[in-house]
Chain A
Amino acid sequence: MSNCKSCSAAPTCISAHASINQMHDRTQSLGIDTCFDRYEAQQPQCGFGMQGVCCQLCSHGPCRITPKAPVAICGATADTIVARNLVRLATHGTSAYTHHLEELAKTIKATAQGKTPFSIGDVHKLKEIAGIVGLDINKPVNELAEQLADVILAELRKGADEPLALVNIFAPKTRLEAWNKLGVVPGGVLSEVRDALTKSMSNINTDPIDLLLTVVRLSIAAGYMGLVATITMQDILLGTPSLTTSEADLGVIDPDTVNIVAHGHVPLVATAVLMVAESEEMQALAKQAGAKGIKVYGSMCTGQELMQRSATSGKGFAGQLGNWLTQEFMIATGAVDLVMMDMNCSIPGMKTVADRFHTKLVAVDRILRMAGVTDHVDYQPEQVAEQAKELIRMAVDAYKNRGKDILIPTNKSGAVAGFSVETILGALGGSLDPLLDAIKKGAIKGIVAVVGCTNNRNGHDTKGLTIMKELIKQDVLVINAGCMSSAAQIEGLMLPAAAEEAGEGLKAVCKALGIPPVLNFGSCVDIGRIGVAVTVIANALGVDPSDLPVAASAPEYLEQKAVVDGVFAVAFGLLTHIGPVPPVTGGPLVTKVLTEDIESLLGGRVLVEEDPVKAAQAMVAHIDAKRAKLGI
């Protein structure tokens, strides 16, 4: 790829970001292979895998559906195999979300008992949610917090035959009707995960339609527990995000400080580190080592969580380095001393780069392990104050071994962070009406949530950014969550000045309100925050989410959490664009159901379109159709 600089796509075919292209040149000249190089080495990729028609479940197999073998040895069709594989992906994603939520519930309990350095960050939200789930809100805050945590843990663990309370409470009534009709209102999430995994064992559930309904059921469980409950509990503990500004891209790295990167999804250890980093004790350690101080940066969604709370519990946050594909390159600067890896998205390739430099990788979650990484500071709510100090000491020790081979790109951009229903209401003076009026009048044509992962299949962030720019040009307000947030932050789309790139209507609204045309809703679990926002808008207009001029796009989806997110958006009634074609195309029935038939049942459907401009146009056409139907 490095030899293709003359092509017109050259500036973006590796990455849409100048910093990453510069760093890729550096890793190549240092002889370090990264994702981009390994991607090339993996070409061509197996067409059976791409189409999802490979089954490795039993020892008769592996079986593949081919022209000369149209069914597996057991008799399973392509649709059965594809749907069963999809169930397994969705189960993985749902399961991972429960880990995040459980860590939060446990932390809230320990905090309520006074055993952690944290305190309840949003008492108002605690009381609001506790009241909704039927707790006595006159109880003392800590007692109430503990009770709410117990409610959430019980919801996670109850049977599959006991409908999730949170779905009944939070879902729009019209959605509940649709889901009840299909029998997809889920019960306890862990029970749902058990049932789904059991169904997807060989020869238990081989009906592609029932398997697809299982995916929908899982996605609703993941949506209301993994997403909505997680963001709510996170807000209660760490505070609801507030509007703030920060910076993003590798240029934020300070060569003169001890540099710690919080990488992953669960911001608990990182928040504890931020709380103690400015203490005299820790600062003295850094200064003794010859550094000017200690800085904590963000990578991926943990960074987004810190950024959107950088006015409160994330105070001291030094900026966002980037998303999934940035992880090897941030280390290749030579100026990162320690990476705290929590939960998912820590790739083994990071270790290869870390070994070339002095960077210490530390697992800070009991479920995360990486070959060659021997430092584990597994998060314990009761011990996190001390664990945070230990991590800083490790970072200072690593700093002492830092070499001279440092290259930090100069690129960085400002970004506004902290958008949520609450901040939008705050900015609009307590009512959604100004926003709704702008939508009704057509100044804002509609809203598209461009969310989820990044993927190098079409160039790092290239596709996502093309879609965002195309949408805002056509007066569609864009909301980001997850790795797509980093993409927009780095390219300056989350600055009010980016309104200049928007169409006339959206530009005027942005200027009047002083907001960017691309709103930063935070991390990938904050897709739940988008769900909450869409629910509020639908309720305010008295319509179903599927009637709104709204769509979702995961233009560079990568992993299993994104699979359930995508299906959840469909179940929520939204047209959902999915970037790299998911591994379902080998099953004609499954493909037809997901891209066509499901719309009549759930209101949403999957839009598969590899061309980003065409994808944006299809979403705008969808928005126009919904507007026409609403008569606005």
Chain B
Amino acid sequence: MQRIMLHLDRCNGCLTCTLACAAAHSKSGHIIGAMMEGVQSRIHIQSVKGKAVPVLCRHCEEPACVDACMAGAMQKNPVTGIVTNDGNEQSCVGCWMCIMACPYGVIVQSKDGTVAVKCDGCKDREIPACVEACHTRALEYMDVDEFAAVKRQETAYQLAKPAV
């Protein structure tokens, strides 16, 4: 199962992912157009004492937002695993239950305040726009187990360093 995975140490806060996200969700499809349309980013870069920290939807296996959605608009796609309130049978009514339920704070109001907006995993793209745009490879779209394998190898390397 592929997910957007994060190497926190690699993020240098350039915010390109936020621009790419906005572009991918704009009418024009490009960055300047998205800025003129005022499209918001669905990936959020927080700052902790100046250190950039990307915070993005994890598309949880048991999504609190889906449980909380009384309109039934927020759904987890059983095939792709993507959690979204967009393009489903029921429409978002803007009750903000999902915003209150999400433990990560990654669901926000649309600019006109009518619906909830969140990462939709870039349904129509092979690789999410934010990952594609990331220059430092802080964001990677990869198999979750493969990510763990890479991490494990890094850890092994650190552990072995004094010995080899």
Contact = CB atoms under 8 A, between A and B. Distances in A.
A44 B47 CA distance: 5
Given A48-B12, A48-B14, A43 B136 contact: no
Nearest to A65: B135
A69 interface: yes
B135 to A, nearest CB: 4
Contact of A44 (B13, B135, B136, B137): B13
A64 B46 CA distance: 22
Interface string A58-81: 000000101111000000000000
A46 interface: yes
Contacts of B51: 44
B135 A68 contact: yes
Interface string B101-142: 000000000000000000000000000000000011100000
A306 to B, nearest CB: 37
A47 interface: yes
A304 to B, nearest CB: 31
A43 B52 CA distance: 8
Contacts of A46: 12-15
Interface in B57-85: none
A45 interface: yes
Contact of B50 (A43, A48, A51, A68): A43
Interface residues of B, number: 15
Interface in A411-443: none
B11 to A, nearest CB: 8
Which secondary structure dominates chain B's binding surface?
loop
Interface string B14-25: 110000000000
Contacts of B56: none
Contacts of B136: 47, 66-67
Residue among A44, A50, A67, A68 facing the most chain B CB atoms (10 A cut-off): A44
Nearest to A47: B12
B45 interface: yes
A69 B47 CA distance: 26
Given A44-B52, A47-B52, A67 B14 contact: no
Contact of B13 (A45, A64, A66, A67): A45
A37 B12 CA distance: 21
A49 B12 CA distance: 10
Nearest to B10: A67
Contact of B135 (A43, A49, A69): A69
B3 to A, nearest CB: 20
Contacts of B12: 46-48, 50-51
Nearest to B13: A44
Interface in A22-69: 43-51, 64, 66-69
Contacts of B137: 67-68
B15 A43 contact: no
Contacts of A66: 135-136
Residue among A45, A51, A68 facing the most chain B CB atoms (10 A cut-off): A45
A295 B52 CA distance: 46
A68 to B, nearest CB: 7
Contacts of A48: 12, 14, 135
A50 B52 CA distance: 13
Interface string B124-164: 00000000000111000000000000000000000000000
A339 to B, nearest CB: 31
Interface in A252-270: none
23 contacts: A43-B13, A43-B47, A44-B15, A44-B46, A44-B47, A44-B50, A44-B53, A46-B13, A46-B14, A46-B15, A47-B11, A47-B13, A47-B14, A47-B52, A48-B12, A48-B14, A51-B12, A66-B135, A66-B136, A67-B135, A67-B136, A67-B137, A68-B135
3 closest A-B pairs by CB:
A47-B12, A44-B13, A43-B47
Given A46-B13, A47-B14, A67-B136, 15 more contacts: A43-B47, A43-B50, A44-B15, A44-B45, A44-B46, A44-B53, A45-B13, A45-B50, A46-B14, A47-B12, A51-B12, A64-B14, A66-B135, A66-B136, A67-B137
Interface of A: 43-51, 64, 66-69
